[in-house]
Chain A
């Protein structure tokens, strides 16, 4: 719908266009059923970043304080990209596998139910 406005054809400036991030794009990462981290986390990184850098740096940096983090079996992790099941290619860049600006990448770790199984 158009905005009801006093000027015709009202259009707003898109504040978070990818061009505004100095060569980076924003991605969000969420670890399902681990609400000790209250919300998904946000990163501004290059679209050329290979996926395995997420596994080696970004995800441990964000989540390693969780007592279950060490126990994650990364081979059995289920990935969800923008609501769809997703199989990452570790060597390929984010851009090359469709992880675009403001994408949400979730991971689910079967068997790990959070602190005392509370989803935390």
Chain B
């Protein structure tokens, strides 16, 4: 299985997104590097709107992840409720 990854700018908003990703993807590895946070997971990773909203305590649109996004690896699937990264092995 290959790893998908998602890197975000290290800022306040991203911290909530990372918390949400950790909750929804228990096996995720989170790596803190200067000014960035890199998350890796085997095969698949999902960022769920509901979980992020719960962590932030306010409404959050999945597309607004673009504001804090640095890079990603994997096939992307995005709709109103989630952003999913995956590899087909």
A and B touch in the complex (CB under 8 A): no
Interface residues of B (CB under 8 A from A): none
Q: Give the B-binding residues of A (Cβ under 8 A).
A: none
